[in-house]
Amino acid sequence: MPLLYRAVLALLALVLAGMPAYAAEFSEVRPIGFSADGSVFAFEEFGVQDGSGFPFASRFFIDTATDSFLPGSTVRIIIDDENKTVADARATAAEQSGHLEQKYSFSANPGVIAAFNPLSELDSSAHRLRYLPLSVVPAFFQPYTAQLTEKPLPSSEACNSITETKLGFRLEMTEIEGKPASILLHEDTSLPKSRLCPTSYRLGGVVTHYADGIWIHAFLVLFQSFGFEGEHGRWMAVTRRFE
């Protein structure tokens, strides 16, 4: 092994040894697409679990008219094998939801990522996105603005030992096509068990689709909660149709 290469490896080991051991685990999110008429929006998240090291992948399918999951459509895959990869988990999830792809042709209608604001973005607001629904020059569309507000909710028995107050959120449009607005998109009054014990939320992105004179906006929301070895992050979506 060349002397320089050994020196680089030794330096890297020293740097890593001096870094704190973070157990936080945040999933990645990817839009899958829309049905041609925009009635269904699909997205996936995936990653590696803290503690177990097992790869996982989930797929979610949302009725955009009611902003609710298509009955029986959600796919959650965890492969109990450290030697398997995230690619294996994603492939298994895609296979299990293949009948929905055949029915709705999501790959033919990927939508437009109108705004993206992940946790790694340092200079943007965590709770506000102002965006155009389509990338085009000249920009003949007017902007939309979405605002997220965190709201405390009574802690559940399962969360009492972790946090005194668990958080929900409210999401509203404060601007539509360049005009002030006040349209409620979502407001928590209670929390599903799937969110565990939320500690914060981030408005992480917007995916849009246009069909038959209607814009469909899918808002991607990252929520943090306490996991097995520390805080982790998972994704959810809120959808809205603008006629």
Give the per-residue pLDDT at 192: 87
Contact 166, 153 (CB under 8 A): yes
Q: What angle do CA 229, 30, 135 make, to 5 degrees?
A: 135
Res. 147: pLDDT tops 70: yes
**Reported pTM:** 0.87
Give the per-residue pLDDT at 229: 62
Give per-residue pLDDT as tens, 154-188: 877 778 777 777 899 999 999 999 999 999 999 99
* DSSP summary character for residue 17: H
Res. 219: pLDDT tops 70: yes
**Residue 138, preceding bond cis, omega within 30 degrees?**
yes
Contact 75, 92 (CB under 8 A): no
Contact 230, 182 (CB under 8 A): no
Give the per-residue pLDDT at 172: 98
Give per-residue pLDDT as tens, 40-78: 999 999 999 877 789 999 999 999 999 999 999 999 999
From residue 224, how far is each of 62, 187, 198, 203, 234 by CA, in Å?
A: 21, 17, 6, 12, 7
Res. 143: pLDDT tops 70: yes
Report the pLDDT averaged over residues 122-134.
Answer: 96
Give the per-residue pLDDT at 22: 44
Contact 39, 237 (CB under 8 A): no
In whole numbers, what is the pLDDT of the chain averaged over residues? Answer: 88
Give the per-residue pLDDT at 24: 62
Q: State the DSSP string of 77-98.
A: EE---TTS-HHHHHHHHHHHTH
Res. 90: pLDDT tops 90: yes
Contact 170, 236 (CB under 8 A): no
